[in-house]
């Protein structure tokens, strides 16, 4: 079915196009792409050489970052890791840059109740604030390219659905960095929404040796339940079987979202806009009209905070698809990493609370 896209959505369509026009457009963007890659390379070289220095954070920390823009499931993975650290008895603080209005901050608050969520472009300042509010361990959502602070461990998220394609750099493609950047991480998490678990595990095995600690993890992202945008009891995802739904989203890679809904048996009309889209009332009205009275709209957790104040009270039902993260490969290596960070959390928090500089040696 038809899709509505804004400029950022058009960029994603261009990156995936196999038409002659798409190839020509990408070729015309090769020069700015080369300049972008050269600039990123120079900046990384400055950090690697110590010309630019990264600060340490006040608490044990785990970073999560992307090689490509949007769609890999970085935020659900970061929330999952924060929840796993909480299960180990450490109160997590989640640090974000506060990108475009804070939709990811709201998603984290909903996913990880009890976590200290701080949105601040200055991660050092954000970490200090999280520590002051009682956090014992920090999870940084989006920090691979933002190197002003250095987490104690770093996981790089790659989507299986896009891992096999050509790695055209921005703006000719969605890739912020190439595979060499995996060397800055301790491990790689290969997520999958519509691809198979075995394919994701194979990619994790292939990419893990490129990372510092050789950790390779495959994690499935599936729609676990549907939560009414206006509030109310969650609904089983299976209720979408046989239904016509409008999938409304402002995310980096909308095609896997449609695929997830189709796997549940829904007949989907996709209305996709750019990543972190700032919804307008007329766009929301168009989505509601497309669903019609008594219809069903499904959106993402990232979009929910922005859509909620705009959704018409008399409009069709709007349901928020909540993703569950299920590790299907590399669980033992990931668990050992989380155990190390969790063991470091409590004594470090006590030192920080007492005004003593933290001991940065991680337990073995």
CATH numbers and ranges of domains, the chain: 223-324 (3.40.50)
Indicate the pairing of strand 317-329 with strand 215-228: antiparallel
Least Cα distance to 65 among 140, 170, 118, 165 occurs for: 140
Query: Whose structure tokens read 């960029």?
Result: 11
* Distance between CA atoms of residues 181 and 179, nearest Å: 5
Output the pLDDT for position 349: 55
Query: Strand pairing partners for 273?
Result: 250
Q: What is the pLDDT of residue 2?
A: 45
DSSP per residue over 246-260, as a string? EEEEESS-HHHHHHH
Residue corresponding to tokens 């989507």: 159
Interatomic CA distance for residues 195 and 259, integer angstroms = 10
Q: What does the alpha-carbon distance between residue 227 and residue 236 come to, in Å, rounded to a whole number? A: 9
Q: Which residues pair with 235 in a beta bridge?
A: 226
Q: Tokens for 329?
A: 């490969």
Flag whether pLDDT at 11 surpasses 90: no
User: Half-sphere exposure of 305 toward its Cβ, with a 13 Å CA cutoff?
Assistant: 15
What is the DSSP-derived secondary structure letter of residue 68?
A: B
What pLDDT does 69 receive?
Answer: 83
23 C-beta neighbours (distance < 10 Å), count: 12
pLDDT for the residue 9 = 57
pLDDT, greater one: 7 or 250 = 250
Q: For residue 275, what pLDDT is reported?
A: 79
Confidence of residue 1 (pLDDT cuts 50, 70, 90): very low
pLDDT in tens, 204-245: 999 999 999 999 999 999 999 999 999 999 999 999 999 999
């Amino acid at each position: 079915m038809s899709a509505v896209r804004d400029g950022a959505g058009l960029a994603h369509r261009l990156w995936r196009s196999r038409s002659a026009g798409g190839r020509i457009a990408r070729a015309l963007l090769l020069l700015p792409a080369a300049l972008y890659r050269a600039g990123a390379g120079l900046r990384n070289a400055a950090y690697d050489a110590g010309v630019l220095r990264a600060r340490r954070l006040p608490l044990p920390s785990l970073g999560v970052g992307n090689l490509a823009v949007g769609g890999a499931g970085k935020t659900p993975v970061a929330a999952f890791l924060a929840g796993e650290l909480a299960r180990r008895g450490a109160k997590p603080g989640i640090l974000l840059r506060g990108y475009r209005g804070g939709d990811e901050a709201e998603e984290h608050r909903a996913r990880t109740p009890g976590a200290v969520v701080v949105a601040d472009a200055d991660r050092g300042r954000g970490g200090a604030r999280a520590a002051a509010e009682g956090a014992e361990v920090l999870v940084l959502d989006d920090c691979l390219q933002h190197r002003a602070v250095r987490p104690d461990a770093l996981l790089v998220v790659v989507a299986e659905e896009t891992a096999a394609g050509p790695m055209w750099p921005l703006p000719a493609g969605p890739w912020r960095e190439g595979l060499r950047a995996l060397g800055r991480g301790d491990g790689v998490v290969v997520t999958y929404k519509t691809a198979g678990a075995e394919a994701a595990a194979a990619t994790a095995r292939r990419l893990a040796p490129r990372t510092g600690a050789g950790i390779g993890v495959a994690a499935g992202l599936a729609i676990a339940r549907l939560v009414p945008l206006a509030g109310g009891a969650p609904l089983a995802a299976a209720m979408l079987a046989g239904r016509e739904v409008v999938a409304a989203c402002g995310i980096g890679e909308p095609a896997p979202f449609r695929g997830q809904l189709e796997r549940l048996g829904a007949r989907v009309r996709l209305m996709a806009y750019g990543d972190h889209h700032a919804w307008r009332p007329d766009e929301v009205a168009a989505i509601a009209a497309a669903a019609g009275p008594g219809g069903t709209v499904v959106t993402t957790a990232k979009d929910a905070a922005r859509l909620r104040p705009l959704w018409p009270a008399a409009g069709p039902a709007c349901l928020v698809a909540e993703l569950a993260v299920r590790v299907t490969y590399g669980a033992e290596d990931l668990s050992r990493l989380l155990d190390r960070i969790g063991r470091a959390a409590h004594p470090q928090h006590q030192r920080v609370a007492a005004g003593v500089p933290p001991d940065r040696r991680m337990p073995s």
